Amino acid sequence: MMKNIKYLGLALTISFLNFSCDEEFLNAPPQGEVSESAVWTDAGLAEAFVTDLYIGLGQGGFSEQALASLTDEAIFTHPGRNITTITEARSNPQEPGWMDYTRNWPDLYSNLRATNIAIDNLSTPLFDNDGGIADRLLGEASFMRAYFHHQLLRNFGGIPIADKTFTLDEETYELPRNTYEEVVDFIIADLDKAATLLAGKDLVRGRANEIAALALKSRVLIYAASDLHDMSTASSKSPVISSYQNKELIGYSSGSQTERYQAAAAAAKAVLDKASGNMLDLSAPLSPEEAIQTYMNNSLSRNGGEKEMIFGRYFLAQKPETGGRHGLHNGPNGYNNWAGNTPVQLLIDDYQMMDGSDFDWDDEEHASAPYEDREPRFYATFLYEGAPWKPRSSANQARDPLGQIQTGTYEVLNGEGQKVTHFGLDTRNSPIEDWNGSYTGYYIRKFVEPDPNFVDQNTWQEIPWPNIRFTEAVFNYAEANIGLGNDEEARTYLNKIRFRAGLPAVTASGEELMEVLINEKRKEMVNEEQRYYDARRWMIAPDTFGRQANGINIVGTLKSGKDVTIYSYNTENYDYSYEVINIDPGKENRLWLDKMYFMPINFDEMQRNRELIQNPGYED
């Protein structure tokens, strides 16, 4: 069985001791600490230091608050977390809104300082390099430096490159932002170096490897080729960007977008030539049952789905972390969970029918049974009205013996045969923790342990988070080829994904093919922290993130002569009506302003470094 990297922190804290006293006991480091110099003369301690670099990945996308709730994928149920500051476009340098430490400027620069310490010391190692351990650690540190720079780049644009460890002897700590192009080039150089150093190395899961370096390179280059970072294109689409006086900080003011697409295509193809993913060699669609199970396997990283994982964040139930509580954070309140990030109807409606046609509320057949005959990924991704799920707790099983999701309002008969209202157990009118009910009428199933014996409320799951997975590289390759006009090649690779998802091949070309890719990636990579950046770099955010979040209102009316005292979903007993509803603006009133293409640099950072130039739309 493969081992997972464990983020336990250094057992020995690195100490920087500069005492000038002659007494030996004062010169000795305190118990439990070692000197900085000792760390870099011992291979084990050096590896522990590099292992600590991965702490900067945080919980991946399994934090209680998810990036999905900053997009048209989900809303966050609980108030007061600064998420609506972003979704309502109220961000400013004083109050940018919610940014956890995986995206936050000061935390990322702190992480970069640690990577530079490692790179400085591993470049000329003071310990025996048996088996190439120093080269491997240097490769990992170079990858992590690239990763942290890429996080800064895709949130803020060009930033001061952190290519060395600052000391107390520096003439100045105020540095200007590097151009977007310079940061991209720096990241690519680090990733090329990492790929070379890590080639052929057999690493435990969770550590960077050659394929991870190539895949991150693919991501960085497809971002760089995107419309948001081509200043001529971006200026034509956004007055805020057009009027910005420092466009070189957020994109390319010269050069060829076509050449950038060529570089992105080559980088993605390098990944596809070295890895294979899971079930992407099909010549026809999988059956619905196979497609549902395959998508679940990929999301759970098991039963073949492990092949999808290029760079993951792993969790162990024996070492409880926030990332192991994904089911608790997002599961239905009727199962005593918190319903944190709940899917919106906008996302639900983008899932196609089983035959590949679009879902349409104006189609009477679709509108009367919106959860029937949908594409397989729908059933592997969401919990919706009537969906079979786990057994309820012993305290609530009598209310729902079948373990079905209840997100509506229904008629039942009381002991006297009179019709009374039964509020669904997974609603905000539920008798079970109603304050944790979904506002939208949906819950996320993806990434939640499906074992019926697994109780999300009080157990830690071991499903890993995909920082990078293989299918992303497939999308990158297809997108780059669309940008180059190579529609046939793009269709070939998009159809590999669609066949695995149980959908028929597409035949679209040009702009229509790009629309297919956008929709396909939205569904395939839902809740994987892709949509937040994709909608921005494609410059579709005004038309997608600017829409009001919505949900569903479901009413079940007893059919004549039916005798139901304990509710369960059953179309023989009930007539169901479905009404799309907007989320109350008092809860969330979404708005898109073009300044939100980039996050503002925090006021405190601007005060500390007078060389910094603010991002477009935040200058005043």
pLDDT tens digits along 319-342: 999 999 999 999 999 999 999 999
Three-class SS state of 6: coil
Same domain flag for 398 and 431: yes
Which of 471, 444, 426 has its CA nearest to residue 348? 444
Same domain flag for 322 and 269: no
Residue matched to tokens 């390099």: 129
Pairing of strands 33-35, 13-15: parallel
As a whole-number percent, the residues of the chain with pLDDT over 90 amount to 91
What domain range includes position 261?
40-62+75-167+175-275+599-608
pLDDT at position 16 over 60: no
Three-class SS state of 311: strand
Residue 221 lies in a domain: yes
Reported as a pLDDT band with limits 50, 70 and 90, residue 130 is confident
Dump pLDDT digits (tens) for 345-395.
999 999 999 999 999 999 999 999 999 999 999 999 999 999 999 999 999
Model pLDDT, residue 33: 66
Task: Classify burial at 402, counting beta carbons within 10 Å of its beta carbon; exposed 0-12, middle 13-18, buried 19 or more.
Answer: middle
Residue 352 lies in a domain: yes
The tally of domains found in the chain comes to: 2
Three-class SS state of 47: helix
Same domain flag for 95 and 228: yes
pTM of the model: 0.94
Residue 615 lies in a domain: no
Which of 547, 473, 595 has its CA nearest to residue 97? 595
Dump pLDDT digits (tens) for 501-536.
999 999 999 999 999 999 999 999 999 999 999 999
Task: Classify burial at 67, counting beta carbons within 10 Å of its beta carbon; exposed 0-12, middle 13-18, buried 19 or more.
Answer: buried
pLDDT at position 6 over 60: no
Separation CA 288–CA 486 (nearest Å): 30
Q: What are phi and psi of 291, to 5 degrees?
A: -65, -40
Q: Over range 223-248, report the average pLDDT.
A: 98
Task: Concatenate the DSSP letters of all residues of 129-163 into one string.
Answer: -GGGHHHHHHHHHHHHHHHHHHHHHHHHSS-----
Q: Which residues lie below 8 Å from residue 617, measured CB to CB, with a gap of 6+? A: 240, 593, 594, 595, 596
Instruction: Pull the structure tokens for residue 597.
Output: 């293409």
Model pLDDT, residue 5: 55
Strand runs (DSSP E) across 401-489, as ranges?
409-413, 419-423, 443-444, 465-469
Which of 191, 118, 109, 193 has its CA nearest to residue 151? 109
Dump pLDDT digits (tens) for 20-51.
344 443 444 555 666 777 899 999 999 999 99
Question: What integer best gives the mean pLDDT of the chain?
Answer: 94
Same domain flag for 264 and 379: no
Same domain flag for 223 and 264: yes
Task: Classify burial at 517, counting beta carbons within 10 Å of its beta carbon; exposed 0-12, middle 13-18, buried 19 or more.
Answer: buried
Region for residue 472 given its phi and psi (left: phi exceeds 0; alpha: psi -120 to 50; beta: otherwise): alpha
Separation CA 180–CA 248 (nearest Å): 6
Model pLDDT, residue 15: 36
Residue 68 lies in a domain: no
Same domain flag for 326 and 238: no
Same domain flag for 413 and 555: yes
Residue 500 lies in a domain: no
Same domain flag for 269 and 323: no
Same domain flag for 108 and 146: yes
Reported as a pLDDT band with limits 50, 70 and 90, residue 18 is very low
Residue matched to tokens 């990577």: 115
For the chain, state the CA radius of gyration: 26
- Do 565 and 414 touch, CB atoms closer than 8 A? yes
Q: What is the CATH number of the domain that holds 221?
A: 1.25.40.390
Same domain flag for 122 and 209: yes
Model pLDDT, residue 7: 43
Residue 69 lies in a domain: no
Three-class SS state of 582: strand
Residue 337 lies in a domain: yes
Residue 518 lies in a domain: no
Same domain flag for 562 and 603: no
Q: Which residues lie below 8 Å from residue 169, measured CB to CB, with a gap of 6+? A: none
Instruction: Pull the structure tokens for residue 271.
Output: 């990944």
Separation CA 99–CA 63 (nearest Å): 12
Same domain flag for 242 and 121: yes
Dump pLDDT digits (tens) for 536-558.
999 999 999 999 999 999 999 99
Separation CA 425–CA 84 (nearest Å): 27
